[in-house]
Amino acid sequence: MIVILMIIVVALNVCGHVFLKVGMNQVGQVGSKPFLQFALSALSNPFVILGLAGYVSSVTGYIVVLSRTSLSVAYPVLMSSGYALVVLISFLWLREPFSALKWVGIAAIFAGVVLIGIKG
């Protein structure tokens, strides 16, 4: 059960970050318009709202995970999985640049997750 919950938390976290990026691509850069106009644009953008909801939901799920497992397992597994998935989704969906070095980094992250997850 904890593994399923951890997968859900990672998915919500990754979706939150990706939706925030998509929304901010639509809103524009900070400083591109007066602050109040910028803030209203950002806070009314559906992708920004989805991103915030995903992120807040992931933190809520993280609290549940922490109540059921050790921090030394939960934090590295959830955060590193999230880092790797954000990079992959950024490449696949947002068409951000992706080098061979990033592939090596993702492989190292997943190897680390496996090693951390081994009970010893």
The residues spanned by each domain of the chain are: 2-117
Asked if pLDDT for residue 120 goes beyond 60, the answer is no
Q: Which two tokens stand for residue 30?
A: 């900070």
Spatial neighbors of 27 by CB under 8 A, at least 6 apart, are: 38, 41, 42, 45, 48
Rounded Cα gap, residues 86 and 104, in angstroms: 15
Is residue 9 within 8 A of residue 78, CB to CB? The reply is: yes
**Residues 67-72: contacts with CB within 8 Å, 24+ apart?**
68/2, 68/5, 69/2, 72/116
Please say if the pLDDT value at position 10 is more than 70.
yes
Give per-residue pLDDT as tens, 77-110. Answer: 888 888 889 988 999 999 998 889 988 988 888 8
Q: 46-68 and 35-44 are packed helices; what angle lies between their axes, rounded to 10 degrees?
A: 70
pLDDT in tens, 35-66: 999 999 999 999 999 999 999 999 999 999 99
Query: Does 113 have pLDDT greater than 80?
Result: no
What is the per-residue pLDDT for 51? Answer: 97
